[in-house]
Amino acid sequence: MSIWKAYTNKINYNCAGSGNVKDMDYWRNNLFATSIIFLLPFCLIALAPGIYFCIVTQKYILAIVDILTVTAILFIAFMPGINLLVRKVLFFSFVVILSCALLLYGGLPGPGLLYLLAGCTFSILIFPTTYSFWPAWIVTGICILFGIAIFFNAIAFPRQNLASASEWVAVSSNLVFIVFLLAALIPRLFKGLQETLDKEKKLKAALRKQQEELQQALHQVQQKNNELEHFAYVASHDLQEPLRMVTSFMGLLKNKYGDQLDERAHTYMNFAVDGGKRMQKMISDLLDVSRTGRGNAIKERVQLGDILNEIQQNIFKLIEENNVTILIEPAHTVLTVYRGDISRLFQNLLSNAIKFRRKDADPVIRICCTGQENRWLISVEDNGIGIENDKSEKIFEIFTRLHAQDIYQGSGIGLAICKKIAEQHGGNIWVASEEGKGSTFYFTIQK
Ligand code: ADP
């Protein structure tokens, strides 16, 4: 096997050229090299009986031409440092010489004409299109020369049964006709193939360019996103300090000088402290959102049931107080996730499902996980108050709430965090809901 590999490598190196662009020249050279690869062993196998036949029939010159042809093919295959075109010309020349020898010493109706046709067809295939008529003209010249030789009885052909020059013309003109026909038709086929290859090359180049542009744009977006997240993080982090100062000095002001101020001033101060506190909460929520997914955690394989058991322990009181039923199907599914983040996502969805419960029914939450091609689709279905249809996209935006604070408390960041976590896992999140009947939150994560 390794000998065969070394052998084919050597011939490919010498006869297939170095072009790795797959155009027509590549395939012409490839065809040439492949035919030499297979021709050589066949020639060597056929050499011994051929020489034996020549010696038995006393055609010694034919035996010499046989040996010469095989030597020439060996030379073409293995001689280093020769131009590929020269190798092809040598190959064609030896086929022509062999054909002429077969005509001269094997007889005019023998295999000589067949060899001429085969050699000529092969040459049209392996030479560049500009040379495709050359073999046809050379074959025509040879036929004319033989015609003249027959006409003037210049050569004594063995087993001569093409009696006259006119018979030779009748026979050889067919060969000339076929050869010219092939020289005209094969390049047309090649031209069509070349055009297809060119088109494919152009399309591939355009596609590559588009992919590069897309990659670049993606990179830029990612960079901007990182910058933005960093900005949000730094801004919210740094804003906390001066705000803390404002609220604590307001508190001091109230404690120390409260008795010197009238009721209106107290009301104003209460508003200011209240506003400051709310702003503090918003900033810490913002910080929370921008912190999500920033850690260096690594993904781990974890059972869906384990994550949910943990959460049920965390919100045990809430579950008990509201008489909640939680169903998981199937609990043994193993997910590869950032465990802390996915727990948080589930906890947000479960807390919401309980918080936004209907007064007239105990909450029932059904969690399903189904495997799709390369992702998991997870749904969290509740029988709560539901969501208005046109709000189903808005609720995933940060600080978006559909209810007043005194009806349902909250900060409006839970679902924004869920969205971020789903995206961090290569998926997305959405909701399907019917007002008054319940909601189903769906999210996907990559497997
Ligand atoms: P929060 O719960 O703090 O208000 P979220 O971002 O978690 O903030 O939710 C945003 C809004 O989406 C909620 O205020 C509520 O109006 C709506 N919502 C979320 N989950 C549900 C649910 N399971 N049923 C009905 N409404 C919901």
Q: What pLDDT score does 22 carry? A: 64
pLDDT category at 51 given cuts 50, 70, 90 is confident
pLDDT category at 347 given cuts 50, 70, 90 is very high
Contact 394, 400 (CB under 8 A): yes
Whose CA is closest to atom 3 on ligand 1? 410
Phi-psi region of 58 (alpha: psi -120 to 50; beta: other; left: phi over 0): left
43, pLDDT greater than 70:
yes
343 C-alpha vs ligand 1 centroid, how far in Å? Answer: 17
Q: Per-residue pLDDT tens for 212-262?
A: 999 999 999 988 888 887 887 787 788 888 888 888 888 888 889 888 888
For residue 417, which atom of ligand 1 is closest to its CA? 6
361 C-alpha vs ligand 1 centroid, how far in Å? Answer: 18
Q: Per-residue pLDDT tens for 360-389?
A: 999 999 999 999 889 999 999 999 999 998
Range scoring the smallest mean pLDDT among 343-357, 405-419, 428-442: 405-419
Question: Is the whole-model pTM more than 0.85?
Answer: no
Neighbours of 51 (CB within 10 A): 17
Phi/psi for 372 (5° steps) reads: -115, 180
Q: What pLDDT score does 159 carry? A: 59
The larger pLDDT score, comparing residue 263 to residue 18, is at 263
Neighbours of 307 (CB within 10 A): 21
Place of tokens 């010469």: 68
163, pLDDT greater than 70:
no
Range scoring the smallest mean pLDDT among 138-142, 172-176, 282-286: 282-286
Q: What pLDDT score does 77 carry? A: 92
Q: What pLDDT score does 19 carry? A: 61
Counting ligand 1 atoms within 8 A of each CB, the residue from 352, 398, 409 with the most, and so the one to mutate, is 352
Contact 433, 392 (CB under 8 A): yes
The larger pLDDT score, comparing residue 234 to residue 91, is at 91
Q: How far apart are CA 141 and CA 176, in angstroms?
A: 10
Average pLDDT, the chain: 89
Neighbours of 413 (CB within 10 A): 22
Ligand 1 pocket residue status of 358, Cβ below 6 Å: no
110, pLDDT greater than 90:
no
